[in-house]
Amino acid sequence: MTVICQALARLTILIGCTLVVLGCGLSADVAPATSTPAQSAGQRIQFQSGATSATVTGYLTAKATDKWLVSAQSGQKFSAQLTFTSGKAVLYITDSNGKVILSDSANATTYSSVLASSQDYEINVTSSNQTATDYSLTVTLRIV
């Protein structure tokens, strides 16, 4: 199954769409980002060398959630912007200790703040209605 997932990941990047096959959630990245295969806590957003932003895409069924992880440093300005071509979704952001940074009850699609500590941050994208959602998530990290 790992070989199939790796082959599908390559195919996904080539055709630029999201595939869900055999239980392997694979999302194509929009340059300059790359992501690693799904982990239990989410997919890691990685920035290409020298890049300050990364964009990932996903597809959610109604009332579903995708989890993304980003590693950030204290003093960096962290921004997340969620856009969607169909459906609707909201952001829910926590730190590595589970402390809520942005609640889903805020119904926010954008967030920006200077970070107080160096750690992983979990960005949850949750479909907020009864329809499927295609989305793009752009994360920016800049030194202030």
| Confidence class for position 75, pLDDT limits 50, 70, 90 | very high
Parent domain of 103: 39-143
- Convert the pLDDT of each residue in 93-128 to its tens digit: 999 999 999 999 999 999 999 999 999 999 999 997
* Low-confidence winner among 97-101, 127-131, 133-137 (lowest mean pLDDT): 127-131
Structural domain total, the chain = 1
Does 125 map to a domain? yes
CATH number at 104 reads 2.60.120.380
> DSSP for the chain?
-HHHHHHHHHHHHHHTS-EEETTEEE-PEETTEEEPSPBTTBEEEEEPTT-SEEEEEEEE-TT-EEEEEEEE-TTEEEEEEEEEEES-EEEEEEETT--EEE-GGG--SEEEEE-SS-EEEEEEEEE-SSS-EEEEEEEEEEE-
pLDDT at 114: 97
Does 104 map to a domain? yes
